[in-house]
């Protein structure tokens, strides 16, 4: 159908994070060659933003040890916006050297989760972002810095995470020099009402610097949460092909929102993503073979597209 709702955008970006958030959460270590195939096929299917890995020590995440090589490969596609995750200044220096377009610094709004995962308080992460900003500017680099506020809707360790604390940390990231900020429902605690409330407040604070919504489908609400975020103006969403990744604490439970289902929902609503869903489903089949034995997710690959489905033609410009 055509997009008749004035509240919905004409275009949105689906950022593929399967190669990072997806692969880091599963046991299979995908060979670099297959990751290159994945990047090339995702690009051919119309994806223009891909998080290709993480600059962390290989001993911590052997799945992502080839990140530098993948950045170099991804940069051979001139219209591909390449991002990586960096946990600290050292990772950021690698990202700057690799000339990625954007580096995501994760911050956990849950103090307990932050200490357990990053061994830093949230405010220590903010201080690190200030150092990263200084290093980026000193290097004359164009790499953008995204501060990603995780456990924004609660946390499996600490439970409640206050909205005011999430927003305080987001403001602190902006003040420390983050070019972009994002919100992530790391553990799948969000519902559409929470999303609407928090994202509305976040976008008031960050304006054009608000960048991305990151939702997990742990309790089946991933796409409902995306829709709620769309309604308050969010225009970019993280997703993993086949819904991989996410929640090591709930075996078998869904991980990230699946790229193909998200692209279907957006396309069905008349929101252009530039993604060819049939090509994406063909890629999903290949990735599913590579990840044989892993639990995959998603619905459209099983049910097929509706007979009535017609994707919007236009491709959104990447406003980075």
228 touches a second copy by CB under 8 A: yes
* Residues 189 to 218 in contact with a second copy, rule: CB under 8 A: 189, 191-194, 196-197, 217-218
Name the 3-class secondary structure at 178: coil
17 touches a second copy by CB under 8 A: no
294 touches a second copy by CB under 8 A: no
With beta carbons less than 8 A apart as the criterion, state whether 22 and 240 touch.
yes
Q: Which long-range contacts (CB under 8 A, 24 or more apart) does 231-234 make?
A: 231/7, 231/8, 231/196, 232/196, 232/199, 232/200, 232/203, 233/9, 233/199, 233/203, 234/199, 234/203, 234/210
Output the smallest distance, CB 52 to a second copy, in A. 26
By CB neighbour count within 10 A (0-12 exposed, 13-18 middle, 19+ buried), where does 40 fall?
middle
Residue (22 or 270) nearer to a second copy, CB:
270
**Choices 1-9, 85-93, 123-131, 312-320 (CB under 8 A): range interacting with a second copy:** 1-9
Output the smallest distance, CB 195 to a second copy, in A. 10
Residue (141 or 259) nearer to a second copy, CB:
259
- What is the token pair recorded at 34? 């297959």
Q: Which of 156, 182, 259, 273 binds a second copy (CB under 8 A)?
A: 156
With beta carbons less than 8 A apart as the criterion, state whether 26 and 240 touch.
no
8 touches a second copy by CB under 8 A: yes
Distance CA 125, CA 258 (A): 29
268 touches a second copy by CB under 8 A: yes
Number of chain residues interacting with a second copy (CB under 8 A): 50
With beta carbons less than 8 A apart as the criterion, state whether 293 and 28 touch.
yes
Q: Is 247 a catalytic residue?
A: yes
Give me the sign of the Cα torsion angle 183, 188, 232, 7. Answer: positive
Cβ partners under 8 Å of residue 34, min gap 6:
290
1 touches a second copy by CB under 8 A: yes
Residues annotated as part of the active site = 247
**Binding stretches for a second copy (CB under 8 A):** 1, 3-5, 8, 154-156, 159-160, 187-189, 191-194, 196-197, 217-221, 223-224, 226-228, 247, 250, 252-254, 258, 261, 264-265, 268-270, 298-300, 302-304, 306-308
């Amino acid at each position: 159908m055509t997009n008749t709702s004035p509240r919905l955008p004409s275009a949105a970006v689906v950022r593929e994070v399967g190669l990072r958030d997806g692969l880091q959460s599963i046991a299979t270590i995908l060979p670099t060659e297959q990751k290159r195939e994945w990047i090339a096929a995702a690009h051919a299917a119309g994806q223009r933003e891909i998080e290709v890995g993480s600059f962390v020590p290989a001993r911590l995440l052997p799945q992502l040890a080839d990140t530098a090589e993948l950045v170099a490969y991804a940069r051979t596609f001139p219209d591909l916006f390449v991002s990586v995750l960096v946990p600290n200044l050292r990772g950021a220096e690698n990202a700057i050297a690799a000339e990625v377009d954007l580096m995501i610094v994760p911050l956990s709004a849950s103090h307990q989760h932050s200490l357990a995962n990053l061994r830093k308080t949230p405010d220590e992460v903010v201080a690190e972002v200030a150092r990263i900003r200084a290093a980026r500017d000193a290097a004359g680099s164009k790499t953008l810095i995204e501060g990603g506020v995780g456990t924004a809707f609660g946390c499996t360790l600490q439970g409640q995470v206050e909205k005011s604390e999430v927003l305080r940390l987001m403001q602190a990231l902006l003040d420390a020099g983050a070019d972009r900020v994002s919100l992530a429902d790391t553990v799948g605690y969000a519902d559409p009402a929470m999303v609407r409330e928090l994202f509305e407040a976040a976008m008031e604070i960050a304006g054009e610097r608000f960048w991305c919504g990151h939702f997990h489908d742990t309790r089946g609400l991933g796409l409902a949460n995306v829709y709620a975020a769309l309604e308050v103006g969010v225009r970019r969403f993280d997703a993993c092909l086949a819904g991989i990744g996410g929640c090591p604490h709930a075996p078998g439970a869904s991980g990230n929102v699946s790229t193909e289902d998200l692209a279907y929902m957006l396309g069905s609503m008349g929101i252009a993503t530039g993604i060819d869903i049939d090509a994406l489903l063909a890629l999903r089949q290949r990735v599913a073979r590579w990840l044989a034995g892993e639990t995959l997710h998603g619905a459209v690959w099983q049910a097929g597209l509706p007979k009535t489905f017609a994707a919007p033609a236009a491709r959104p410009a990447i406003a980075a």
